[in-house]
Amino acid sequence: MAQGLRLVLFGPPGAGKGTQAQLLREHLNVAHISSGDLFRHHLGQGTELGLRAKEYMNKGELIPDEVTIDIILDKVMSIPNYDGFILDGFPRNPNQADVLEKKLSTESRNLDKVIHIDVSEPELLRRLGGRYICRACQSPHFIGSGEDASAKKCDQCGGELYQRDDDAPTAVKKRIEVYNTETTPVLGFYRERGVLVDISGDNPVDEVNKLVMAALGS
C-alpha cells in the first residue's frame, strides 16, 4: 500500500493555506487537519480538551501550548501511520514543532514536506482588508478597494456579508507582526531538517497550487 504524504502548510494570515489545503486534500486524498476547525469542534462538543481550552478563553488568557498540542496530537495520532495528512495552522512555534516531531518519530512516522507559502506584506494587507464572510454559510468573499461591501450578498446563499474584527487594518498588521515574531522561527527548524520548500504565494490560487504540486513531485 502506498503511503500518503504527510505535510505541514505554513504561511502568514492571508497566505491562502486553507484554500491550498482543500485543493491538496482532494488531489492527494489525505485528511486536512485545521487547528482552527479542531478548536471549534472541541469547544462546540464540550469535550474534555475543549473545556480545558475554554477555561483560559473565559479568563481572556492565551490557550497554553500544552493544551493546543494535546488537541492537535489527539487528532494526528488517530491517523494510521500509513495514511497522510495536511496540517494547517500548527505548529505555531518551535516548541510545538519539537513536540510534534518527537511524537511522530516515536509512535508513527514523520513529516514528508513542509510547504511555506511566502506572501509579501502589501499583498497580505490587500487580501485581508478585502476579505468578507457570509453570516449564514461562512463562505469567504473578496471585495476590492472602492467597492461597496454593504451592497454585496453571498454568492453561495445570498446571505449578508461582514468583515471579521481581526481582518480590520490595525488587527491585520498585529497578526502579521505576531506571525513574524512567533512563527517564522519554525521555518528554520524545518529548514535544518531538509523538508522545507518555499513557494511564492503572491500569485493567483491556481498558480500557487501548480508550484505546490511541483514541489511535491506531482
- The model's pTM: 0.82
* Residue 66 near residue 56 (C-beta atoms within 8 A): no
* 24: in domain: yes
- CA nearest neighbour of 10 among 111, 131, 139, 81: 111
* 213: in domain: no
* 86: in domain: yes
Residues contacting 208, CB < 8 A, separation 6+: 16, 20, 117, 199, 200, 201
* 164: in domain: yes
* 215: in domain: no
Average pLDDT over residues 191-197: 96
* 212: in domain: no
User: What tens digit of pLDDT does each residue of 12-35 get?
Assistant: 988 999 889 989 998 999 999 988
- Report the amino acid identity of residue 60: G
CATH (domain of 137): 3.40.50.300
User: What tens digit of pLDDT does each residue of 47-87 get?
Assistant: 999 999 888 888 877 788 999 999 999 999 999 989 999 99
* 216: in domain: no
CA–CA distance, 81 with 6 (Å, rounded to integer):
10
* 14: in domain: yes
Q: Which residues are the active-site residues?
A: 17, 92, 131, 164, 175
- Cα 155 to the chain's mean position, in Å? 24
* Domain of residue 183, residue span: 6-207
Work out how many domains the chain is built from and give that number: 1
CA–CA distance, 126 with 3 (Å, rounded to integer):
39
- Give residue 2's pLDDT: 58
In eight-state DSSP terms, residue 202 is: S
CA–CA distance, 126 with 156 (Å, rounded to integer):
23
